[in-house]
């Protein structure tokens, strides 16, 4: 078995972090890395101890939810809180950073931004990254070590098998499909 590539490994970490998000509009995760070591991670969510979007809905001002702290900012603040330097580090983010996060990334000394998804890529943020010599690289998660749609896929496969049963498929065919399903979804 081949080892997962570093970019895929760190992007998978950011994808896992995004699963902790409390934002109902967009789940974002960020991982800060220095010398191939994870030094911090963050996801978008409310200020500690405050109400979350998943509890009370988003608090929208001028088309933006102002309740959440962005994933990149949370990761950077974690470094600041615990005295971990970010100079010459890299950040892996599930979505292209917004303008405010871009400015924070630049000010923190991070030298490279890796992102999985384009998301309202702000032209000024791109310009600032270029001026600051911050490398921007799109890294789509191709090694799916975490399947964020596993439940949906399992339900779909189960409905297909049930439909085939109702249409008179043989017991042998159904048993083969169920076995394959157990291989694809071993924890189910």
Contacts of residue 92, defined as CB under 8 A and 6 or more positions apart, other chains included, come to 7, 10, 11, 13, 14, 30, 31, 33, 114, 115, 139
d(Cα 68, Cα 58) in Å, to the nearest integer? 9
18-78-26 Cα angle (round to 5): 25
Please give the DSSP secondary-structure letter assigned to residue 157. H
d(Cα 106, Cα 130) in Å, to the nearest integer? 10
| Residue 157 near residue 181 (C-beta atoms within 8 A) | yes
Contacts of residue 150, defined as CB under 8 A and 6 or more positions apart, other chains included, come to 185
As beta bridge partners, residue 175 has none
**Phi/psi at 75 (nearest 5 deg)?**
-65, -45
- Residues labelled catalytic: 72
């Amino acid at each position: 078995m081949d080892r997962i590539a570093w970019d895929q490994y760190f992007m998978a970490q950011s994808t896992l972090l995004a699963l902790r998000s409390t934002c109902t509009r967009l789940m974002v995760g960020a991982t800060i890395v220095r010398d191939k070591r994870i030094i911090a991670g963050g996801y978008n969510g409310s200020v500690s101890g405050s109400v979350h979007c998943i509890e009370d809905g988003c608090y929208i001002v001028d088309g933006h939810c102002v309740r959440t702290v962005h994933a990149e900012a949370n990761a950077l603040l974690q470094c600041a809180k615990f005295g971990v330097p970010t100079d010459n580090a890299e950040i892996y983010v599930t979505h292209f950073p917004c303008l405010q996060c871009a400015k924070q990334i630049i000010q923190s000394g991070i030298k490279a931004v890796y992102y999985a998804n384009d998301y309202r890529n702000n032209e000024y943020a791109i310009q600032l990254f270029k001026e600051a010599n911050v490398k921007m690289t799109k890294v789509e998660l191709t090694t799916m070590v975490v399947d964020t749609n596993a439940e949906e896929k399992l339900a779909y496969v189960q409905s297909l098998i049930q439909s085939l049963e109702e249409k008179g498929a043989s017991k042998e065919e159904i048993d083969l499909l169920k076995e394959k399903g157990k291989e694809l979804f071993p924890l189910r």
